[in-house]
């Protein structure tokens, strides 16, 4: 039997999904954080490790404050833009968009990622043992801006190194009780994955995307290590997912969404989660029986929703 898997096909999420979606629409998206909380609970509660499910302890109310702050930022952004347009200052308006977007990406994004990670991991637990993210905003911010800047001036060539640095920092600061994690991916290896993508995507009429996704997934999984300092052991995660599996996943998901006009989302979500979780292999000698509690509570949901909007998929 598998040690790590996703336990649902989507059936149990169908009804909560549609009820919450309606509420979100009726409240002009103000209800969204609650919808999100239910969705995360659904996801976490169906991720099984050695017979026990994960828990997401966050609440819609906690995330609501973060969401309000984000909404205020968006309204402020479009409001200022609207004012400039109304005053016939089109050139300034365009300039405003450029500058704010640049500032946003360089300064606001690390801020949101940091906040999102802290909240999400603090609210994650398994058999009562808390996860936690111990990254420092200042360090992360500096790292992000420095490597982000290098990516900018190299016209994106540096991106694979940037991505690996960020992943290294984030993974390196995640705690699971007394266990912690490490990311060993090297920029140059990721660069090769990217280079192949750029070279082959057009020749294969886009079909290379599935192989790229495979490479991407395997790269991040195979380079993630669980560390148990007390035992002095390291456990490497692994994945052997194929491009064909990605192809099947995405095509069927697309068909489900199209033919159900989006209402099949719960099943697509479950398919995605099953794919993601079931393809991560945990080493046999890794025992989950004696993980010690070390983390404490944390409450600030700013960033939680930004992560969602920026489409950065941290689970």
Sheet-wide strand order for 129-133 = 4-6, 47-49, 52-56, 124-126, 129-133, 174-176, 179-183, 224-228, 233-236
Specify the residue for token string 């993974």: 171
Q: In Å, how far are 66, 98, 144, 198 from 120, measured between CA atoms?
A: 12, 31, 20, 33
Query: What tokens appear for 237 in the block?
Result: 């995660």
Of positions 29, 101, 154, 242, contacts other proteins by CB under 8 A: 29
Of positions 2, 22, 139, 149, contacts other proteins by CB under 8 A: 22
Task: Tell me: does residue 134 bind other proteins (CB under 8 A).
Answer: no
Task: Tell me: does residue 267 bind other proteins (CB under 8 A).
Answer: no
Task: Tell me: does residue 291 bind other proteins (CB under 8 A).
Answer: yes
- CB closer to other proteins out of 63 and 241: 63
Q: What is the CA radius of gyration of the chain?
A: 21
- CB closer to other proteins out of 79 and 156: 79
Neighbours of 11 (CB within 10 A): 10
- CB closer to other proteins out of 42 and 275: 42
| Beta bridge mates, 5 | 48
- Who contacts 229 (Cβ-Cβ below 8 Å, separation ≥6)? 178, 180
- CB closer to other proteins out of 128 and 156: 128
Task: Tell me: does residue 177 bind other proteins (CB under 8 A).
Answer: yes
Of positions 8, 62, 295, 305, contacts other proteins by CB under 8 A: 8
Task: Tell me: does residue 293 bind other proteins (CB under 8 A).
Answer: yes
- CB closer to other proteins out of 32 and 141: 32
Shortest approach of other proteins to residue 178 CB, angstroms? 9
- CB closer to other proteins out of 93 and 113: 93
- Footprint of other proteins (CB under 8 A): 8, 11-19, 21-22, 24-25, 29, 32, 41-42, 45-46, 51-53, 71, 74, 78, 85, 126-129, 177, 260-263, 288-293, 309
């Amino acid at each position: 039997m598998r040690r790590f898997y996703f336990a649902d096909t989507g059936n149990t999420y169908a009804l909560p999904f549609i009820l919450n979606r309606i509420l979100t629409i009726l409240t002009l998206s103000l209800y969204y954080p609650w919808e999100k909380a239910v969705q995360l609970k659904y996801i976490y509660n169906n991720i099984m490790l050695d017979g026990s499910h994960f828990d997401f302890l966050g609440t819609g109310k906690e995330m609501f404050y973060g969401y309000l702050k984000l909404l205020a930022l968006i309204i402020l952004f479009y409001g200022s833009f609207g004012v400039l347009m109304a005053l016939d200052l089109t050139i300034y308006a365009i300039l405003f968009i450029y500058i704010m977007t640049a500032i946003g990406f360089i300064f606001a994004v690390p801020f949101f990622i940091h906040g999102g990670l802290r909240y999400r991991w603090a609210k994650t637990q398994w058999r009562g043992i808390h996860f936690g993210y111990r990254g420092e905003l200042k360090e992360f911010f500096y790292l992000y801006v420095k490597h982000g800047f290098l990516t900018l001036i190299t016209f994106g060539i540096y991106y694979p190194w940037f991505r690996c640095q960020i992943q290294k920092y984030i993974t390196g600061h995640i705690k699971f009780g007394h266990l912690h994690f490490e990311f060993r991916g090297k920029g140059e290896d990721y660069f090769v994955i990217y280079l192949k993508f750029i070279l082959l995507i057009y020749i294969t009429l886009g079909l290379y995307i599935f192989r790229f996704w495979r490479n991407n997934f395997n790269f991040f999984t195979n380079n993630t290590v669980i560390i148990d300092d007390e035992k002095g052991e390291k456990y490497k995660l692994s994945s052997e997912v194929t491009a064909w599996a990605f192809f099947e996943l995405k095509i069927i998901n697309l068909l489900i969404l199209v033919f159900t006009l989006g209402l099949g989302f719960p099943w697509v979500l479950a398919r995605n989660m099953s794919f993601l979780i079931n393809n991560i292999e945990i080493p046999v000698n890794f025992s989950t029986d004696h993980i010690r509690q070390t983390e404490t509570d944390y409450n600030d949901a700013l960033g939680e929703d930004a992560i969602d909007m920026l489409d950065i998929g941290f689970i």
